[in-house]
Structure 1
Amino acid sequence: MIASVRGPVRHVGLDNVVVEVGGVGLLVHTTPATAAECRTGQEAILETTLVVREESLTLYGFSGVDAKALFEQVQTVSGVGPRLALAMLSVHTPDAVRAAIAQSDLTALTKVPGIGKKSAERLVLELKDKILAVGVDPADLAIQPAGAGADNAVHAQVRTALEGLGWSAKQASDAVQRVTDGVAAPTEVSAILRAALRELGR
């Protein structure tokens, strides 16, 4: 199991980074917010989980052990795989996910693309007691969306990233338009993507 990686960043994508470890470039899938924190040429330290499938080995990376632990925990629920777990952390912070589960906030959970009412109910049913058992006080957790990135090419990249996370083309387009329509609107891909994720998480 690859528990963490450390090395210079060779490439930063919208939802992935390539980190060189021992002369080998490792592709690490992350949330847009985590990818935006990385800089090409600078060293990155990511907590990682290796997901092994018959046809693939996929590495997922996180800026801290908290997000990694939650990523692994939500996958114990039937029907929740790594892509959906990563989408949850792309829309909400780890504390926000725990708060939504602890408070049975189905509305917050269903803001994640791919999670419907039944899936949200299953998450609450299977994880609520476990989250409360470790001493999490729902009242102390604020449900806040996590951190995205204006010419047409930049907007197209952001829309593609949002669609890849599960939103429809219209939802992605509307979100990008809302967050870029203003005097002080963000212009970089990562900034627009973070802003769009906040908008979609409302």
Structure 2
Amino acid sequence: MYRYIKGYINEISEDFIVVDNNNIGYKISTSMETISNVRINEEYKIYTHLHVREDDMSLYGFISRSELELFLKLISVSKIGPKVALGILSSLSVDKIKFAIINEDTKTLSKAPGVGKKTANRMILELKDRIKDYNIEKLDSSSMVNNKSNINEALDALIALGYTKYEASNVMNKFDIEKLNTEDIIKLSLSELSKQ
């Protein structure tokens, strides 16, 4: 129904964003990956999926089309619903998930909340033939270490220090941290959090 929604970010919460489009606020459930890449009052195109059940209609969306496409693949796996799929996408990058599926790495997949060994095996069984990225097999763990991992490491460190995921990601969203290393992201975030 909705291919994408383009508008200004009006609100950022722990597991959803609100996009203002023509004075309508769309509540869109999303991953930490998307939340960490959007800023309040800035305009974005959010790729969306309307999930319909008998008792509920919910909008899910992501800043990248590749994340949406993987989300749709994940919820097509038996016994994986939208919330578990979001947990997987919040714990692992799109490339790491695809890499783990192709290499039948149940240990990595099982790190995501709500994913045990049986679910990880089911993901591999049902999705391995549907992962089509032509160069994904050439990826290795070292090639996937980029600044996203710095951001995720900083987020984990702030949570370990007692801050909620929402508090940590919210303060990190205030700064341009794309080129900073993990230590600098933590220092900058703690400096801002101490003022609150």
TM (norm. structure 1) is 0.72
Match of 1:135 in 2: 134
1:104 counterpart SS class: coil
Q: Relative contact order (alpha carbons < 8 A, sep ≥ 6): 1 or 2 greater?
A: 1
After TM superposition, give the deviation of residue 8 of structure 1 in Å: 1.4
Q: Deviations over 1:10-45 (max 9, x none)?
A: 111122111111211010111123113222222121
Distance 1:25 1:63 in 2: 17
* Gapped regions of structure 2 (runs ≥ 5): 169-181
Match of 1:67 in 2: 67
Tell me if structure 2 keeps the 8 A contact 1:14–1:36.
Answer: no
Change (3 A) 1:105 1:19: same
* Letter of the 1:96 counterpart: K
Match of 1:104 in 2: 104
Q: Deviations over 1:73-110 (max 9, x none)?
A: 11111111111111111011111111100000010000
* 1:72-111 equivalent positions in 2, closer than 5 A: 72-111=72-111
Tell me if structure 1 keeps the 8 A contact 2:14–2:166.
Answer: no
* Letter of the 2:134 counterpart: G
Match of 1:158 in 2: 165
Match of 1:46 in 2: 46
After TM superposition, give the deviation of residue 149 of structure 1 in Å: 7.6
Distance 2:109 2:86 in 1: 13
Change (3 A) 1:126 1:149: closer
Distance 2:12 2:166 in 1: 17
Change (3 A) 1:160 1:56: farther
* Letter of the 1:157 counterpart: T
Change (3 A) 1:150 1:109: closer
Distance 2:22 2:50 in 1: 18
* Letter of the 1:14 counterpart: E
Distance 1:113 1:103 in 2: 20
Q: Deviations over 1:147-187 (max 9, x none)?
A: 438999x94432899xxxxxxxxxxxxxxxxx99xx84742
Tell me if structure 1 keeps the 8 A contact 2:33–2:89.
Answer: no
* Letter of the 1:44 counterpart: Y
* Gapped regions of structure 1 (runs ≥ 5): 162-178, 190-202
Tell me if structure 1 keeps the 8 A contact 2:32–2:89.
Answer: no
Sequence identity (%): 30
Distance 1:103 1:137 in 2: 10
Distance 1:104 1:150 in 2: 29
Which stretches of structure 1, 4 residues or more, deviate above 4 A after TM superposition?
143-146, 149-152
Change (3 A) 1:130 1:37: closer
TM (norm. structure 2) is 0.74
